[in-house]
Amino acid sequence: MTAGESFPSLTRWLIKVALSTEGQYEYALRTHILKALKSGCTREEIEHAILLVAPTAGFPKTMKGLIILRQVQEEIQKKH
């Protein structure tokens, strides 16, 4: 963390993943998933952040987030 930052980078990206899931901003969610992975978050941590959306925003938004996570993972695997 740098001066003035309240959360570690990994935590910030997981929060952004959750917010993008709740808001159903697909482009932002894809971007935040990629940046979370690049910063060192695991797939399981990202999935957990998405699942935390369910009680507040509902099951449909959560499932859409999980589908997008799966699509991003598949796209990454195809590139390698």
Asked whether residue 1 carries a pLDDT value surpassing 60, the answer given is: no
- Residue 2, Cβ neighbours under 10 Å: how many? 5
Taking only the tens place, the pLDDT of each residue in 34-57 is 999 999 999 999 999 999 999 999
Q: Indicate if the alpha-carbon torsion angle 29, 35, 41, 44 is positive or negative.
A: positive
Determine what percent of the chain is predicted with pLDDT higher than 70.
Answer: 95
Q: What is the pTM of this model?
A: 0.89
> What confidence tens digit (pLDDT) does each residue in 8-24 have?
889 999 999 999 999 99
Q: Report CA dihedral (6, 11, 16, 19) to the nearest 10 degrees.
A: -90
Q: Is 80 exceeded by the pLDDT of residue 65? A: yes
Q: Pick from 7, 23, 35: which is nearest to 64 by CA?
A: 23
Mean per-residue pLDDT of the chain: 94
40 DSSP 8-state letter: T
Domain architecture of the chain: domains with CATH = 9-79 (1.20.1290.10)
The residue among 22, 36, 32 whose CA lies nearest residue 65 is: 22
